[in-house]
Structure formats: structure tokens, C-alpha cells
């Protein structure tokens, strides 16, 4: 069973994503900021990371930088409302993220993209 780490400071959004992914049979773990995200990557060793960009303590971009350096094989999906900011999207892709889903988003679409990335 695949493990997915969800890093999102909005509890309602992370719960929705969590609910939807569990429904697909994934094992999930939720954390609310960048620092917790880094710790969770080391302990949980996920098969996929879903992360927001704007977060307390450590931004999503910093977290991606860390994850790609320490665990380059873990794919990352960025889920952010900064979709219109070209710089952030380009930087995220430059760091090697697998997908970028802008908010507002459809959880069903997210589930499909997760499946595609993990396969």
C-alpha cells in the first residue's frame, strides 16, 4: 500500500484530500507546516508528497528543495493557490516536482493525478 504525506496548513483542505485518498486505499499522514513536513519525510518515508507552497516556518519551495536533495526518488505534487504566479510554478518544476495543481481544485481530479504519478 502506497504512503502519501500531505503538507497543508488549512485543516479542512488537508482533511478533504486525506479523506479522498484514503477512499482510494492509500495510507496518509497529515502535517500542517514545513518543519513538521521535513520531520515527517524522514520518519514516514512516503511514496508521494502533496504540499502547499505558502506555509508557516518553512515554505513549500524550501521543503521541495530539501526533499529532492535528501530523497530524490519521492515524487511531489504541489497544491497551491499561487497558481497564477509563474515564478513559483517554474521554480517548483525546476526543482523536479511531478505535478502542480492550482487552487481551486477538484479532489477527484487530484485523486486521478495522484494515481498517474504513482503509477
Binding site for other proteins (CB under 8 A): 10-13, 15-16, 19-20, 23, 81, 103-109
How many C-alpha atoms does 3 have within 13 Å on its Cβ side? 11
Minimum CB distance to other proteins smaller for 16 or for 74: 16
Minimum CB distance to other proteins smaller for 11 or for 45: 11
Minimum CB distance to other proteins smaller for 10 or for 62: 10
Give the residue from 92, 98, 105, 96 showing the smallest Cα distance to 119: 98
Least CB distance to other proteins at residue 104 (A): 4
Distance CA 39, CA 118 (A): 22
Amino acid at each position: 500500500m502506497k504512503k502519501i504525506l500531505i503538507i497543508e496548513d488549512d485543516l479542512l483542505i488537508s482533511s478533504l484530500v486525506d479523506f479522498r485518498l484514503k477512499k482510494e486505499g492509500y495510507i496518509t499522514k497529515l502535517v500542517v507546516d514545513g518543519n513538521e513536513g521535513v520531520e515527517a519525510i524522514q520518519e514516514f518515508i512516503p511514496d508521494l508528497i502533496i504540499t502547499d507552497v505558502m506555509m508557516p516556518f518553512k515554505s513549500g519551495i524550501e521543503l521541495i528543495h530539501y526533499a529532492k536533495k535528501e530523497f530524490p526518488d519521492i515524487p511531489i505534487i504541489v497544491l497551491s493557490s499561487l497558481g497564477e504566479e509563474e515564478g513559483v510554478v517554474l521554480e517548483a518544476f525546476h526543482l523536479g516536482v511531478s505535478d502542480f495543481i492550482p487552487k481551486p481544485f477538484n479532489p477527484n481530479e487530484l485523486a486521478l493525478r495522484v494515481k498517474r504519478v504513482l503509477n
